[in-house]
Amino acid sequence: MGQAANGGARRRRRRRGQARWRPWARVALEVGALLAAALVVVVAVLGRLATAIASASFWWSLLGIAATVLALGAATAALLRGWIRLRPRLAALTTAGPAAAACVLALASLWLAWRPAFHDDLDSLHALIGGPAETQRQTIAHQVYAAYRRADLAGLTRVLERARVYEPTVLEAAAAFGVDPEVMMGIGSAESAFYPRDSADGGRGLFQITAPPAAAVVEVRRRLGVTELDALNQRHNAFVAAATLRLYLDQMGGDPFLGLLAYNIGPRNGGLRAAMEQYGARDFTTIQPYLQNLPRDYPIRVLSAALAYRLWRTEGRLPRYEEGDNARHIQRVGIPGLTPPDLPRLTARRTEG
């Protein structure tokens, strides 16, 4: 009898505890759902504003932003007041009524956020907030997409099929030096088309290594535990390429365009950093006009090849950019080095052909 009484008392305490936290849980769910819906709407409105004022003068842009912020504030106050008035009626129908209605609004906002138009608004807002740096990034990104569009996709597919045997080595080297593995695959594609060989210009092996920085060579020797490096040993070759890219990315503050440009120019005549200091260039856009005798499009070629690798790895094919809705789809997939993959890690690459 005593045990039964104790068990009944415990159950009553649990029920009282649940009765205390359930109302707060419903309120928390309601508030969270309303905030999610409001966030999506605000981003959409500000994104439309960013698109509208993209070519406007400073003062018109400032006036548009101020008016939109005031309008959003007034609309938020009015909607909040309306919700407070509606809430008792929803609660009279069922205790979960307000939370359920808020969840419906949140689901509607998620449907809006899933639509391509919302992503366009988000890109416009990103450009507005990011300023010139983001505008430059988007401009160069479209150069990469255009390069992919012009590419011989059948030839690229053959290159990527040929890359399969070298892929584990390249990924190992990228992981060792903390560089983007997809970008490394793009470099391999641009340098040798994954056909290791000695070239007339002195390039050797998979990554066409010529005169790597001494610091990179020392670090690779230490990592591999060897005293001499063999450029025709593809593991050595890939490690030197990854170490070199890491070095130049660090020199260029992590900027992928400048890092790849410096990688291609190499250390001769002081490298890219010396050229930028000489001409007062700040970024990839401002240094390009001074590189007439150097391959200014090298980062574009590498990143378009890296984009092809990402598509091939995740979809098993290279979709044509201009067909159907492929342009939007490929832009959502994103460019390696600029946008992280929205997919499982590279070590779990699909194996089907």
Q: What is the mean pLDDT of residues 40-67?
A: 79
| Minimum mean pLDDT range among 5-9, 180-184, 232-236 | 5-9
101: which 2 tokens? Answer: 């209605």
Q: Is the per-residue pLDDT at 18 higher than 60?
A: no
269: which 2 tokens? Answer: 């005549």
Residue 341 pLDDT: 56
Confidence band of 132 (pLDDT split at 50, 70, 90):
low
Q: Is the per-residue pLDDT at 3 higher than 70?
A: no
What amino acid is encoded at 134 in this protein?
E
Does residue 206 contact residue 234 with C-beta atoms inside 8 Å?
yes
Strands (E), 83-216: 197-198, 204-205
Handedness of CA 190, 193, 195, 198 (dihedral sign): negative
For residue 192, the surrounding DSSP H or E stretch is: helix 181-192
Percent of the chain topping pLDDT 90: 33
Q: Is the per-residue pLDDT at 16 higher than 70?
A: no
Confidence band of 15 (pLDDT split at 50, 70, 90):
low
Q: Which residues pair with 205 in a beta bridge?
A: 197
pLDDT digits (tens, 9 = 90+) for 200-243: 888 888 999 888 889 999 999 999 999 999 888 999 999 999 99
Left, alpha or beta for 170 (phi > 0: left; psi -120 to 50: alpha)? Answer: alpha
Does residue 311 contact residue 317 with C-beta atoms inside 8 Å?
yes
Residue 200 pLDDT: 83
Residue 131 pLDDT: 62
Residue 7 pLDDT: 52
Q: Is the per-residue pLDDT at 29 higher than 80?
A: yes
DSSP code string of 59-72: HHHHHHHHHHHHHH
Comparison of pLDDT for 235 and 40, the residue scoring more? 235
138: which 2 tokens? Answer: 């988007």
For residue 35, the surrounding DSSP H or E stretch is: helix 2-52
Closest alpha carbon to 210 in 180, 183, 231, 181: 231
> What is the rounded distance in angstroms from the CA atom of residue 119 to the CA atom of residue 126?
10
Residue 125 pLDDT: 74
Q: Which residues pair with 209 in a beta bridge?
A: 204
Angle at 41 between CA 35 and CA 43, to 5 degrees: 100
Q: Is the per-residue pLDDT at 348 higher than 80?
A: no
What residue spans define the domains of the chain? 13-114, 136-348
Average pLDDT across the chain, whole number: 83
Q: Is the per-residue pLDDT at 347 higher than 90?
A: no
Comparison of pLDDT for 23 and 171, the residue scoring more? 171
Q: What is the mean pLDDT of residues 325-329?
A: 90
Q: Is the per-residue pLDDT at 154 higher than 80?
A: yes
pLDDT digits (tens, 9 = 90+) for 241-295: 999 999 999 988 888 888 998 898 887 767 888 888 888 887 777 777 777 655 6
Please classify residue 313 by burial: count the beta carbons closer than 10 Å to its beta carbon, then call 0-12 exposed, 13-18 middle and 19+ buried. Answer: middle
Q: What is the mean pLDDT of residues 42-61?
A: 78
DSSP code string of 215-273: HHHHHHHHHHT-SS--TTSHHHHHHHHHHHHHHHHHHTTT-HHHHHHHHHH-SGGGHHH
pLDDT digits (tens, 9 = 90+) for 185-198: 999 999 999 999 88
| Minimum mean pLDDT range among 11-20, 38-47, 102-111 | 11-20
Closest alpha carbon to 69 in 33, 51, 92, 45: 45
**Topology of domain 136-348, per CATH?**
Lysozyme (1.10.530)
Residue 344 pLDDT: 39
> What is the rounded distance in angstroms from the CA atom of residue 31 to the CA atom of residue 266?
55
Q: Is the per-residue pLDDT at 51 higher than 80?
A: no
- Tell me the pTM: 0.69
